Structure 1
Amino acid sequence: ALDVSLSKGHRRCVIQAWLRVQAFSGLTFCTHVIPFLKATSHASRGFMAGARVGAVRAACFLLLLATAEGFKANEFKKCADASFCSRNRGRAGDVYSIKPGSAVLSGATLAATVVNEEAEPAVELTLTLSLYDGFLRLQVDEAQPVGRYMVADVLAEGFLGMQGAQSVRMEEGKDGLTVSAGGVRVVLKYWPMQVDVFRGDTHAISFNSRQMFAFEHARQKQEGDPAGWWEEKFRSHSDSKPNGPEAIAMDLSFPGFNHVYGIPERATSLSLQQTAGSEPYRLYNLDVFEYLHESPFGLYGSIPMMLAHKAGLTVGAFWLNSAEMFVDVRKSGGATETQWIVESGVLDLFLFLGPSPSAVVKQYASVTGTTAMPQLFALGYHQCRWNYNDEADVAAVDAGFDSHVMPYDVLWLDIEHTVGKRYM
């Protein structure tokens, strides 16, 4: 029985939670009972046995409808609702090229000029390639920096002081150049721009092999600019863009790999499914209480890190960018091809070359740091509710613990205590 002291809203919340638990239990029941009933009905071959299976199937179908109804898909952005995604998804970008003769190697870092000749006037970008022990970093930004947002505070202190690879060599030819160190070789094609990464003799990763790279550069606002460049709306929310369109799109291909993993968090299979004909995977921090199984929608946190694995080799790709992002996955000709589209920022891409899963994780951790161990107080009892509104609420809860002689370590506050849900 529900505590009569609960408010009407709280009772409704408890009832909904109880129904969700029952729905989950029912789904578990369906997955176990239907195969059993099918087996017994096949053995008995009776009309009533078949009717039992049909009745259970119908009940389970209604249960699935009730569970799916809880997820309000229209409240969350899809690619078509975000102009930066809709104008770049599946589209080959302008033709970008690496300017011959512009490459300069300094230690373990190569810098070169990238040109978008289709823009009017032509736009120049700066490409920087840095080699480390077992991985590399590829960065692209505007040649004349305009203050695009760059994520910096998540990089590990150890990485910032890390030495680059030793004995880096550069060989320049008519159609491109090659940079190599140890067992890593990077081939840069001039026109159109393409970067191919090899681990030993194995072609591991290709950047821009499908010519989907696009870098929306700084510009002045003009009459007749396309909708969504400077402002757009979703439901009741307005999103102003004082710097105009700043999206970046790229394609990464993993030749010889049939499976890719990562870009969490979402409720889908470990091996990421193809997204053709559906929504791309969305990376945007959300608190989704109700969600669909096998859905590209994000759940809570988001990490733009992807791993590709096959026998003998595991590689990874991490885009250091905190803006909203969409990722498409498709399988083609024994390879996995992906397209990544981000709303703003710069291209800051780490490619980890393993060769084992543990080596990729170690390389990733050398860049971002390892998971922090919890502090001692975190092991105690934590009291957390959404609905603590003010100091009086907190004082009452604290007094309640005292009156019931219940020790606790932490009392958490959620969004309701803020003014207009503003946190900073």
Structure 2
Amino acid sequence: MRFWSLVGVVTLLTAGETLAFKAHDFKTCSQSGFCRRGRALSARAKEAKSSWVSPYSVEPSSVSISANQAVFSAAVKSSLYPEINFGLEVRIHDDGVARVRMDEVGGLRKRYDEAASWALIAEPTISKDVKWTTGKKDTRAVYGQKKEIEVVVQHQPLRISLLRNGKEQIVLNGEGLLHMEHFRNKVEATTTEQPEPVEGEGAEGEESSEKAEEQVVLKAENPRAWFEGDTEDALFEETFSSWTDSKPKGPESLSIDIDFPNHGVVYGIPQHATRLALPSTTGKDPTFDDPYRLYNSDVFEYLASSPVSLYGSIPLMHAHSTESTVAVFHVVGSDTWIDVSHESDKSTQTHWISESGILDTFLLPGPTAEDVFKQYTRLTGTSVMPAHWSLGYHQCRWNYVSSEDVRTVQQRFDEEDMPVDVFWLDIEYAEDHKYFMWKDKNFPDPVEMTNDVAANVIVDPHLKRNDDYPAFKQASDLGILVKPPSGQGEYEGWCWPGSSSWTDFFNPASWDWWINIFKPNAVEGRWTWTKSTTDIHIWNDMNEPSVFNGPEISMPRDNIHYGGWEHRDVHNINGMLFSNLTYQAVAARTDPPQRPFVLTRAFYAGSQRFGAMWTGDNLGTWEHMAVGIKMVLANNLGGFSFAGSDVGGFFGNPEPEMLVRWYQVGAFAPFFRAHAHIDTKRREPFLLDEPYKGIVKNILRLRYTLLSVWYTAFRETSVTGMPILRPQFIMFPKDKAGFTIDDQYYIGSSGLLVKPVTEKGAIDAKVYLAEDQVYYDYLTNFAYRGSSKGKEITVPAALHQLPLFLRGGSILATRERPRRASSLMHHDPFTLKVALSQAGTARGELYLDDGVSYDHTKGYFIWREFSAAKSGKKGVRITSKDLGKTKPAEAVDGVSLASYDPSNKFVQSVADVRVEKVVVLGLAGKPSSVKVEGQNEELVWEYVPGVAASEKKDGNASVLVIKDPRVLVKDDWAIVIQ
């Protein structure tokens, strides 16, 4: 079955426009009052140097340790505002993670403290093995298997550090930049008039004009001036371009420095178009002048190198050294700016400045990258097991204009024998952009079309303000739309339908309503999407949210959500709730439920639980192709593995060479989709001339042969949280030369290493091998040798050649028969590719289930381990073992399956699926015998002599091909090569 998706492409284009990134649409730090204040605080601290001391201190008499010894709490005071009270709590979880929370106590108002409730899957379990001890200067907790971890809360000034074996790993407020702006009432005072801002003026011209009108001059001798500055800047009101942001609660920003004293490289905080190892934004030789920003934004044609915020925000940062990996998860949902400074190659300083929220920071102690991913995904959840078909190729365009157009595209793929699983429609399917309502003239038969081709559709969060649109009318009647700053009525903004309003998914009353809309059958008393089927899946676009006539092309910050919270408090979380509810809605259409596919543009920590993401409105340029790889890697580090970039670029008309290279990039991303803007030329792969068309066809087929490899990798990430795409530092954590490599990566635990080519006219490529191991060219079987000191090799990379390697010691299970869709492959036989290591061994896994239901959580699956070990002097024994039987607690989706049945329902449904071929690379010599263990009959095989895995030289590897060994995938067996 092929699936269709009708999706809303989010850009600010109208037909025929030519647009580029418009910097003046988005704030710089100097144009953001709270960021200005935070950066100015840092500047004063650096100027004061050793005389700078944080005003925040623990009240020693208030220190309290919980009865179970795992929770420290205390009152915190600021010497600047002794009348203001703060509460500090540090919890140690049972996996060693330390959670630090600080909030204002008894203030005039309440700070937003619910970000963690949306990101976390459950309240973490407190450790039973921790004991805090309090001294005169600090309170300490020591824990870990060898008591190697220590959390120290220094009392005066407040400083919190996590140490391993006596070495500091993470330090909070070590630089004294902690500042939680307390709530206060506005005081009328002498003001300094400021010139009106000039729309479109750059950062330098707007820096002074963007400050709030009210600037109260403080006395120079006041210590507050020393710490906060001598003026109150944009505390109760702020302008940007033509918009004014009222701040009824006044200042409430949060500044905190988070340092990694013994870690010289940091990664994460997606989403930004930049290198994987984050460059400096301040300090010595900064790459960028502005901090990295986390503020979900509709940034079309974004720059290929920039700290500018993009569509999603995950406030997770990894820090790495040759000794350990640690991370911080700073749970805040508001606009956040992050400065990064590498003052040496052995340490990193960061400064996080958020507009609102409490301090709620998780310190992830590692000490390995694998440990960090486990710790993070125990908090926010792992990537869900996707529907198998969603790992195939997705064909999209804004827009396929009619049912006939859709069917014609599908027929052309079939005629060219090119595989494809998903077709997407864009916003033009909907009448007047009223989602769930088909444009009858162009799509007169949506259900029949979907049954013929199977389709998915776009649903954006804005609702056309029209009473004849049932979705809007119902939402309005239920009172579940976002409100304007007054808190009365409904916020009205401008988006694709024109005048629009937005559902407030923070309001629980919206949840059942949204879920019911997606049901293709009538629901009593509710309007539903009756012209739909359970085969339609969803693309959620524009969910930053994008508002064409709003500040920074988004919703005003003083709009009101459920509970009275302002939009500024929840902005970055908003998009996740939209995809969360859509995911639940699509799952609820069927009984029993089938796995939904939901693609989202905006995301937050935890969004990995609800489907896939893509990197937004990229350009058809070589630079965007290259940075897209880094962005997808960063999302994998952020726990969101199901990620990809639009193949070909959303904007522009890529030349055939670029398009071919982009297909090579896309085919080795977890989410693989080609997409194009409405004004671009048609560029479906079947339209290419030869040889380009043939090359792309081979790339598509290669993706499909490896679908079982991708699916097996998703099983692993669904359990362990380890990313699908793994950069060098994860694979080789002690190899310093690989820490900044971000143009090559490994796919799960498969042993596949890919180096996409992103340069015009390339005929070769350089690949870094970090170990003394053999690597086999996947397509030619040529063997390359690495080095224990690291080695760069040069490999052929003409347009038809993709640098793809199989690491020695790996076994891949692939399906080699060409098919036009993944659904046709379920009963296809497998080929095992055994890449012997220098030691003559290899290992791999294969995971299979029905790919659509949740039966895998009942134990209905196949999970095999394939191993190769030496047998005699030159022989090899290849075995298959049932991992479901030996590792039930690690099965899938985090579900413990102690009652796993090796002959379960799914196994019976594919009982005839066999291994039709075994290819062994690097064998030491020609075999004398190849048999299935326990059988006397010699198997049919061919041997091509070449370099053995154990030899210390490059060259064509020896290849043994075993034809139809007559073994079944479901069974235990052994093939013995003598």
The TM-score by the shorter chain falls in which range? 0.7 to 0.9
Q: What stretches of structure 1 of length at least 5 have no aligned partner?
A: 1-8, 17-68
Task: Identify if the C-alpha distance between structure 1 residues 147 and 416 changes in structure 2 by more than 3 Å, giving closer, same or farther.
Answer: closer
Offset from partner CA, 1:33-67 (integer Å, 9 cap, x none): xxxxxxxxxxxxxxxxxxxxxxxxxxxxxxxxxxx
Per the alignment, residue 203 of structure 1 pairs with: 168
Aligned equivalents of 1:266, 1:353: Cα separation in 2: 25
| Paired residues of 1:352 and 1:363 also in contact (CA < 8 A) | yes
Equivalent residues in 2 for 1:302-317, closer than 5 Å: 302-317=313-328
The one-letter code of the counterpart of 1:98 is V
Q: What stretches of structure 2 of length at least 5 have no aligned partner?
A: 1-12, 46-52, 190-215, 217-231, 391-420, 466-492, 494-499, 504-978
Aligned equivalents of 1:128, 1:402: Cα separation in 2: 55
Task: Identify if the C-alpha distance between structure 1 residues 396 and 348 changes in structure 2 by more than 3 Å, giving closer, same or farther.
Answer: farther
| Paired residues of 2:20 and 2:300 also in contact (CA < 8 A) | no
**What root-mean-square deviation, in Å, do the aligned CA atoms of Structure 1 and Structure 2 show?**
2.5
1:98 aligned to 30, 47, 58, which one? Answer: 58
1:260 aligned to 258, 266, 271, which one? Answer: 266
Per the alignment, residue 280 of structure 1 pairs with: 291
Per the alignment, residue 413 of structure 1 pairs with: 459
Aligned equivalents of 1:197, 1:416: Cα separation in 2: 44
The one-letter code of the counterpart of 1:394 is K
Task: Identify if the C-alpha distance between structure 1 residues 375 and 234 changes in structure 2 by more than 3 Å, giving closer, same or farther.
Answer: farther
2:86 aligned to 113, 122, 125, which one? Answer: 125
Q: How many residue pairs get matched? A: 359
| Paired residues of 2:463 and 2:501 also in contact (CA < 8 A) | no
1:174 aligned to 136, 160, 167, which one? Answer: 136
The one-letter code of the counterpart of 1:209 is G
The one-letter code of the counterpart of 1:412 is I
Task: Identify if the C-alpha distance between structure 1 residues 137 and 394 changes in structure 2 by more than 3 Å, giving closer, same or farther.
Answer: farther
- Give 1:200 shift: 2.7
2:426 aligned to 384, 401, 410, which one? Answer: 384
| Paired residues of 1:96 and 1:117 also in contact (CA < 8 A) | yes
Aligned equivalents of 1:366, 1:239: Cα separation in 2: 38
Aligned equivalents of 1:117, 1:350: Cα separation in 2: 26
Per the alignment, residue 149 of structure 1 pairs with: 112
| Paired residues of 2:88 and 2:103 also in contact (CA < 8 A) | yes
Per the alignment, residue 236 of structure 2 pairs with: 230
- Give 1:384 shift: 2.1
Task: Identify if the C-alpha distance between structure 1 residues 286 and 397 changes in structure 2 by more than 3 Å, giving closer, same or farther.
Answer: farther
Aligned equivalents of 2:58, 2:428: Cα separation in 1: 53
The one-letter code of the counterpart of 1:418 is K
| 1:82 correspondence with 2:45 | no
Aligned equivalents of 2:243, 2:306: Cα separation in 1: 24
Aligned equivalents of 1:299, 1:355: Cα separation in 2: 30
- Give 1:396 shift: 3.7
Task: Identify if the C-alpha distance between structure 1 residues 397 and 349 changes in structure 2 by more than 3 Å, giving closer, same or farther.
Answer: farther
- Give 1:404 shift: 7.5
Task: Identify if the C-alpha distance between structure 1 residues 402 and 176 changes in structure 2 by more than 3 Å, giving closer, same or farther.
Answer: closer
The one-letter code of the counterpart of 1:127 is L
Per the alignment, residue 502 of structure 2 pairs with: 423
2:16 aligned to 12, 17, 21, which one? Answer: 12
Aligned equivalents of 2:15, 2:83: Cα separation in 1: 63
Higher relative contact order (CA 8 A, sep 6+): 1
Aligned equivalents of 1:404, 1:349: Cα separation in 2: 49
Q: Which moved more, 1:184-193 or 1:337-346?
A: 184-193
Per the alignment, residue 19 of structure 1 pairs with: none
Aligned equivalents of 2:441, 2:40: Cα separation in 1: 55
Structure 2 counterpart SS, 1:358: helix
The one-letter code of the counterpart of 1:336 is T
Task: Identify if the C-alpha distance between structure 1 residues 386 and 351 changes in structure 2 by more than 3 Å, giving closer, same or farther.
Answer: farther
Per the alignment, residue 159 of structure 2 pairs with: 194
Per the alignment, residue 337 of structure 2 pairs with: 326
Task: Identify if the C-alpha distance between structure 1 residues 393 and 315 changes in structure 2 by more than 3 Å, giving closer, same or farther.
Answer: same
The one-letter code of the counterpart of 1:422 is S
Q: Which moved more, 1:139-148 or 1:248-257?
A: 139-148
The one-letter code of the counterpart of 2:252 is E
Per the alignment, residue 566 of structure 2 pairs with: none
| Paired residues of 1:103 and 1:111 also in contact (CA < 8 A) | yes
Structure 2 counterpart SS, 1:153: helix
Offset from partner CA, 1:134-189 (integer Å, 9 cap, x none): 211000001226321121432444x41x4312222222222222122223211111
The one-letter code of the counterpart of 2:178 is F
Offset from partner CA, 1:285-323 (integer Å, 9 cap, x none): 012221112210022101111000111200000111110
Aligned equivalents of 1:377, 1:397: Cα separation in 2: 27
- Give 1:124 shift: 1.7
Aligned equivalents of 1:205, 1:404: Cα separation in 2: 56
TM-score where L is the length of structure 1 = 0.78
Task: Identify if the C-alpha distance between structure 1 residues 414 and 167 changes in structure 2 by more than 3 Å, giving closer, same or farther.
Answer: closer
Aligned equivalents of 1:235, 1:375: Cα separation in 2: 45
Aligned equivalents of 1:288, 1:272: Cα separation in 2: 20
Q: Which moved more, 1:399-408 or 1:194-203?
A: 399-408
| Paired residues of 2:427 and 2:433 also in contact (CA < 8 A) | no
Task: Identify if the C-alpha distance between structure 1 residues 193 and 94 changes in structure 2 by more than 3 Å, giving closer, same or farther.
Answer: closer
| Paired residues of 1:386 and 1:415 also in contact (CA < 8 A) | no
- Give 1:338 shift: 0.4
Task: Identify if the C-alpha distance between structure 1 residues 342 and 10 changes in structure 2 by more than 3 Å, giving closer, same or farther.
Answer: closer
Structure 1 counterpart SS, 2:87: strand
Per the alignment, residue 381 of structure 2 pairs with: 369
Per the alignment, residue 6 of structure 1 pairs with: none
| Paired residues of 2:54 and 2:157 also in contact (CA < 8 A) | no
Per the alignment, residue 138 of structure 1 pairs with: 100
Task: Identify if the C-alpha distance between structure 1 residues 284 and 409 changes in structure 2 by more than 3 Å, giving closer, same or farther.
Answer: same
| Paired residues of 1:384 and 1:413 also in contact (CA < 8 A) | no
Offset from partner CA, 1:230-275 (integer Å, 9 cap, x none): 1212123322211110000000110121100011111100000100
- Give 1:407 shift: 3.0
Aligned equivalents of 1:87, 1:252: Cα separation in 2: 18
Per the alignment, residue 608 of structure 2 pairs with: none
Per the alignment, residue 249 of structure 1 pairs with: 255
